[in-house]
Homo-oligomer: A and B are copies of this chain.
């Protein structure tokens, strides 16, 4: 990975996804002056829903509209992990030998519609015959996981709230984050129930976003930058609908992708200096702690309580603010996580947000309630 760019998250009134993506591309090219538009051989673009902007086949318009003329430009969708899929397909494109240099991006312009319409669109992320028809939204499915987690392991609503508090704290000095506002456990507990036990402040916000990274073959990276980031592993696994699983509180897709990623990278848990984990809902981050292996199954609530996942803790999680506070523009969230890794390892974030001495990071993107998980492990080459 040789460069990255990201539009400011939020309700970006009057700006289309294409304009937001241009904002991200402008930053990507300015972060890497040696990279020219004609060096780019393909574009992968994560976009979950064509319904928000009434726009399918988004790739060619984004590419050719920015002067990345005539390159292959493909839209990929795995809903919340679409950005992770974009990154992974870019990695495979490079490994295949077809492309020397690709841009992997993600977009979602969600504020074109009101909240109820947005929820109707987002509900397409759930399975139609077995979940949607039975009234299960993504929030309801994650609430189910939360309820079982609470009952089985004694996890509390306060512990879940602490995830939101931490991620809001982290977002305070992230100038691109949408919700830069300190909140307390009491604020979370007092916010209205969306699907009990998940409340408004347990949930990531609907917003607009666009982000991108540039990848090249490892041996070409040094001709573009002195500070390339090596992608040591890219792994993915899927699973059946939540309701068909034996276990609601451990996501097999995450566990399988994590296992593959560690094997592929020859890294161990101890090598990971920080992680960006999928936190569309606070319970997701707690379950991800356990499935990635930062604590044993059931101890996620205690881990957040211990402070270990704060910046400055033993294993910082979501120093960006996460999807929870940065914002969750669905198709863009995965490449937004990669942007955070790029800026952290390049030491270009605010000092208060910097994970000190970090060299290796793990990214976890999840689509649906664990129906898809994508894990990347990245390492700064020069550190």
Contacts and interface: CB of A to CB of B under 8 A. Distances in A.
A347 interface: no
A40 to B, nearest CB: 12
A70 interface: yes
Contacts of A89: 74, 89, 92
Contacts of A96: 91-96
Contacts of A332: none
B74 A240 contact: no
A165 B293 CA distance: 63
User: What's the number of copies of this chain in the assembled complex?
Assistant: 2
B253 A70 contact: yes
- Secondary structure call for the A interface: mixed
B48 A77 contact: no
Contacts of A55: 124, 127-128
B77 A372 contact: no
A61 B127 CA distance: 7
A72 interface: yes
Interface residues of A, number: 61
Contact of A77 (B54, B77, B236): B77
Interface in A92-123: 92-98, 123
Counting chain B CB atoms within 10 Å of each CB, the highest count among A64, A94, A125 belongs to A64
A237 to B, nearest CB: 5
Contacts of A196: none
**The 8 residue pairs across chains A and B that have the minimum distance between CB atoms:** A95-B96, A72-B236, A60-B238, A60-B371, A92-B96, A64-B240, A57-B79, A56-B124
